[in-house]
Chains A and B, each alone.
Chain A
Amino acid sequence: MITRESGDAAGAEASGNGVPLTPAYAKKEQAAIASNAQEPLTYCLPAGPIGAVEHGLVHQYLFTPGLITIIMEDGEIRRIFTDGRGHLPLAQLQSRYMGDSIAHWEGDMLVVDTVGFPNGSLFQAGGLTATINTHLVERIFKNKKGQLEIDNVVTDPAIFTKPWKFTRTFQPASIELGEPGCRTNLRDTGDSIDLTPPEGS
């Protein structure tokens, strides 16, 4: 079991500190932040491959022949195919949150290539999502500290002026993967919350 230990350059708060946004997208992001736009996860919608692990979601990797499945605490499931297939045509991925992920091994490093996740959130705040042309490459490996390390490179000509690179590391967690509770514990309503105690308490 592993838990996130540190990361850098991820999240809207970091976008002004190294995320190479195009002027148009930086303006869009500022407008979203100014309007206090919410991200998909606020409404129990999937966050996507970048946004999901940024939200404190416990997630579990399952290895089966030709397929790696990542189960996330909020009920999202990400499938990464390792059977040698290519990407599906983007036309078939119009409403994806997780996109189409294929991967191969380079020694003990898993290299994951993902395209077509136009509904997947890119940053923690602001409600900004990927486009149909966003391309994510993750290099996942066990570092010298025994942690899971993921080196990410994201490209999209509409969003970034150059590849956006950042690293996330994870370490063992002491809790089990919980049941999805978003729908039953959706007390957040944008800028307010429901304080009502549980029924029967």
Chain B
Amino acid sequence: MNPKNLLAAALLSAGTAQAHHSAVMFDHSQCVVISGTVRAFLFEYPHSWLWLTVPDSQGGSSTWAFEFPAPAGLVMSDPTHWKPGALPKGMKVTAYAAPMRDGRQGGLMNSVVLPNGYRMHAAPDSVTCEEKYYGAHPGDEVLKKIGAQ
């Protein structure tokens, strides 16, 4: 009859990192690699988001937007690195994502590579999108790379 025997300490739980809406807007057969500077990062329910300022070849820049799982899903993938402020404004990162089908500059995030080379995965399986869609060791020629590398 003791609730403490059900679970010790605080009883905070989380479910799996499942999308709460359709994902048909993303082209899951593609993997784009976008390098840029963090403009904003939201670590929140129902989806986390990252916006990058990405340089173009004409000396200008544009914004790319990426959707992530909710925090509960991200911390299941990497409990050490995913946290509020994990991607601070101004940080230079490289995003790997399934792009938007409609051609807009956005996508469903697979993973983010930090300046020190560490790769934060958005899904617990830790499978990179380039491995998933192009094979175990894809060459650079198959990846659509955008922004400063």
By the criterion CB–CB under 8 Å, are B15 and A191 in contact? no
Contacts A38-B22, A73-B72, A142-B5 given; indicate if A57 touches B42 (C-beta within 8 A).
Answer: no
Closest CB-CB distance, A125 to chain B, in whole Å?
8
By the criterion CB–CB under 8 Å, are B72 and A198 in contact? no
On chain A, the residues within 8 Å of B44 by CB distance are 178-179, 181, 185
Mark the stretch among B28-36, B45-53, B131-139, B140-148 that contacts chain A. Answer: B45-53
In chain B between 108 and 144, which residues have their CB closer than 8 angstroms to a CB of chain A? Answer: none
Which secondary structure characterizes the binding site on chain B? loop
By the criterion CB–CB under 8 Å, are A187 and B49 in contact? yes
Contact-residue size bin, chain B (C-beta under 8 Å from the other chain): 35 or more
Is B91 an interface residue when CB atoms closer than 8 A count as contact?
A: no
Which secondary structure characterizes the binding site on chain A? loop
Contacts A7-B16, A105-B1, A176-B12 given; indicate if A56 touches B7 (C-beta within 8 A).
Answer: no
Closest CB-CB distance, A190 to chain B, in whole Å?
7
Tell me which of A7, A124, A175 contacts B72 (CB under 8 A). A175
Tell me which of A38, A141, A174, A185 contacts B6 (CB under 8 A). A141
Give the docked Cα–Cα distance between A3 and B68 (Å): 18
Is A88 an interface residue when CB atoms closer than 8 A count as contact?
A: no
Closest CB-CB distance, B36 to chain A, in whole Å?
12
List of 7 A-B pairs having minimum Cβ-Cβ separation, nearest first: A61-B11, A201-B40, A195-B65, A1-B12, A181-B44, A63-B3, A188-B21
Given contacts A11-B18, A39-B20, 16 further A-B contacts (CB under 8 A): A3-B14, A3-B72, A3-B75, A4-B72, A4-B76, A57-B45, A58-B45, A61-B7, A61-B13, A63-B3, A73-B14, A108-B5, A148-B11, A170-B14, A173-B12, A182-B46
Chain B contact residues, CB within 8 Å of chain A = 1-3, 5-7, 9-18, 20-22, 24-25, 39-40, 42, 44-47, 49, 51, 63, 65, 67, 69-73, 75-76, 79, 83, 89, 100, 102, 104-106
